[in-house]
């Protein structure tokens, strides 16, 4: 199969995650495909959870590590075509995961098959990137002290631009207690909802004061808030004549590196206590740091890309990407993201990838595979 046929094939295999579907069929297909098409190469499954596995392709002592995920988001509403049935139209292939990132996988795998696997190489094909990062976490846990590549390429990106960093992602749940009182005199109590929102505002002010850097400034999003009168374990009074004495909220902080989860928790606790409330529970769901590679170190990739695309810039991806975990595990090794492009609508209906882009990207991947690291 060429990169175009393989993109279509991968789109036709569902790899989103819900109660009945996961990446298993995709893993089986790719494992067989790689076994059949790559010679003198180790191809192993790395068990992640239940039937769900990563695939690791390797040869020698890896100097170049390439990573890409095989899961997609769940199909959303609003598709004009069947998301699992690839359609080629006007120089584009439409289908779920076309842009994020089955097109890139197909381009890279085809480059690998046509070029042959280079010496000292590893390719991680992993699961659960769009959900809880289970695949990447599993890989990092096992390979932390085992490999020492000189360069890491994530093929999860929007070509022709090259990603070189991202903000970190911190998610924390807080449970806050106040004191109830008579609603006719709101200040007779300590309103847990009110002090919570004020604490979040204060946190935002503090993050603003910490300032901006190449990654922008750290931001905070109040993602969830629930509160009222604390009746018992699961019951919250909703009546207007109460002063809310319990609140629970979730914040998502995108850090440029100047704050971590512990510091965020301390700031919120201080602010709640200043308002005479009490934080009784904190739960960290994510505490992921930022990632940034010096552009000078990856200029060579820009030069290769510029031979195929007249316009190619370094850019910071919009959200958190788990290349960061590898960057951290490998002591800030040089990393970059470069994917098949142009494409659009990732995570939305009518997702697409350019046919021409697939072929150009394959050629760029081949150049990378020929390079010494
Ligand atoms: Zn992706």
Whole-number Å distance, alpha carbon 68 to ligand 1 midpoint, is 8
Whole-number Å distance, alpha carbon 347 to ligand 1 midpoint, is 9
Average the pLDDT over 241-246 and give the result: 94
Average the pLDDT over 40-58 and give the result: 97
Q: 186 vs 137, which has greater pLDDT?
A: 137
Q: Which backbone phi and psi does 7 adopt, to 5 degrees? A: -55, -45
Whole-number Å distance, alpha carbon 350 to ligand 1 midpoint, is 16
Whole-number Å distance, alpha carbon 103 to ligand 1 midpoint, is 11
Whole-number Å distance, alpha carbon 147 to ligand 1 midpoint, is 24
pLDDT over 80 (residue 362): yes
Whole-number Å distance, alpha carbon 3 to ligand 1 midpoint, is 18
Whole-number Å distance, alpha carbon 100 to ligand 1 midpoint, is 5
What digits encode the pLDDT tens for the residues 59-70? Answer: 999 999 999 999
Instruction: Give the model's confidence band at 232: pLDDT under 50 very low, under 70 low, under 90 confident, else very high.
Output: confident
pLDDT for residue 30: 98
Whole-number Å distance, alpha carbon 290 to ligand 1 midpoint, is 17
pLDDT for residue 319: 84
pLDDT for residue 333: 97
Whole-number Å distance, alpha carbon 247 to ligand 1 midpoint, is 35
Token code pair at residue 54: 């990563």
pLDDT over 90 (residue 246): yes
């Amino acid at each position: 199969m060429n990169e175009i046929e393989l993109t279509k094939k991968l789109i036709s295999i569902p790899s989103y995650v819900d109660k009945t579907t996961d990446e298993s069929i995709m893993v089986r297909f790719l494992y067989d495909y790689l076994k059949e098409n790559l010679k003198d190469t180790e191809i192993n499954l790395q068990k992640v959870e239940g039937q769900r596995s990563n695939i690791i392709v390797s040869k020698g002592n890896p100097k170049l590590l390439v990573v890409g995920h095989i899961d997609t988001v769940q199909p959303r509403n609003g598709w004009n075509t069947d998301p699992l049935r690839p359609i080629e139209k006007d120089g584009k292939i439409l289908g779920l995961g076309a842009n994020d990132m089955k097109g890139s996988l197909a381009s890279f795998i085809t480059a690998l098959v046509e070029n042959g696997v280079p010496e000292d190489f590893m390719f991680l094909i992993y699961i659960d990137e769009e959900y809880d990062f289970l695949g990447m976490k599993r890989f990092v846990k096992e390979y932390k002290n085992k490999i020492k590549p000189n360069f890491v390429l994530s093929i999860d990106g929007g070509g022709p631009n090259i990603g070189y960093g991202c903000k970190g992602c911190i998610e924390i749940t807080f449970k806050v207690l106040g004191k109830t009182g008579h609603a006719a005199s709101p200040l007779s109590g300590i309103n847990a909802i009110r002090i919570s929102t004020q604490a979040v505002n204060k946190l935002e002010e503090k993050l603003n004061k910490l300032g901006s850097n190449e990654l922008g400034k750290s931001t905070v999003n109040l993602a969830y808030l629930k509160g009222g009168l604390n009746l018992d374990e699961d019951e919250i009074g909703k009546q207007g004549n109460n002063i809310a004495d319990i609140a629970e909220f979730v914040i998502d902080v995108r850090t440029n590196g100047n704050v971590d989860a512990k510091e965020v928790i301390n700031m919120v606790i201080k602010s709640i206590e200043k308002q005479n409330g009490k934080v009784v529970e904190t739960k960290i769901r994510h505490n992921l740091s930022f990632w940034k590679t010096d552009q000078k170190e990856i200029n060579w990739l820009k030069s290769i890309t510029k031979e195929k695309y007249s316009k190619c810039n370094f850019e910071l991806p919009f959200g958190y990407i788990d290349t960061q975990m590898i960057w951290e595990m490998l002591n800030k090794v040089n990393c970059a993201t470069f994917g098949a492009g142009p494409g659009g609508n990732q995570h939305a209906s009518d997702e697409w990838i350019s046919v021409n882009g697939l072929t150009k990207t394959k050629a760029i991947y081949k150049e990378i595979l020929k390079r010494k690291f």
